[in-house]
Chains A and B, each alone.
Chain A
Amino acid sequence: EAGVAQSPRYKIIEKRQSVAFWCNPISGHATLYWYQQILGQGPKLLIQFQNNGVVDDSQLPKDRFSAERLKGVDSTLKIQPAKLEDSAVYLCASSRRYGYTFGSGTRLTVV
């Protein structure tokens, strides 16, 4: 089966600019996750979708981050405006039940 697709792979923006990431999960996986991984740390959950509904967004900085999953398939994560501390790898993952399959991530650098 095809894996989790993410784009872009890399993005460099200036602080206060906006950025969007895209994720296409594995076909048939109802659950989709966005994680933020800062260098040297484990992934931190930002938001969890079940189909097109939000299950948990308690750790999403909602003043600047937003995410949507239209039609329960693809998802986008947006940051507006970006801060220096948002520099990280943003990972998308999908699952049926146990264990996740991760995409390769988008490495964001905010300068």
Chain B
Amino acid sequence: GQQLNQSPQSMFIQEGEDVSMNCTSSSIFNTWLWYKQDPGEGPVLLIALYKAGELTSNGRLTAQFGITRKDSFLNISASIPSDVGIYFCAGQLLNYQLIWGAGTKLIIKP
């Protein structure tokens, strides 16, 4: 079945550093979504991208929909402790179902 390759699997960063993660696919998607999941909670939508080449920001988060429609990246600027969690990319199919990446676990070094 369809799969998304999300990298890196985990990141150890210092507070204040910028973070970058990405997802690639062999398939084309019409919509890319980025979610964050905190322990014990369901995923929360951070950014939705609807057009190839689109660059969208949400506070310190910036995400881009790749021009080939097969990839997307998420950047977090000036990370803070509450950014810790697992970030998932998801590509949305025409029937609105989501294909999920395996997640990027963000850990901030004390």
Contact = CB atoms under 8 A, between A and B. Distances in A.
Contact of B48 (A45, A48, A99): A99
Interface in A6-50: 31, 40-45, 48
Interface residues of B, number: 21
Given A56-B95, A56-B97, A102 B102 contact: no
Contacts, number: 54
Nearest to A59: B1
Interface residues of A, number: 24
12 contacts: A41-B102, A42-B88, A48-B97, A98-B31, A98-B92, A98-B96, A99-B31, A99-B45, A100-B45, A105-B40, A105-B42, A107-B40
Interface of B: 31, 33, 40-45, 48, 50, 88, 90, 92, 95-98, 100-103
Given A45-B98, A48-B97, 8 more contacts: A4-B42, A41-B103, A42-B100, A43-B43, A43-B98, A95-B96, A100-B45, A107-B40
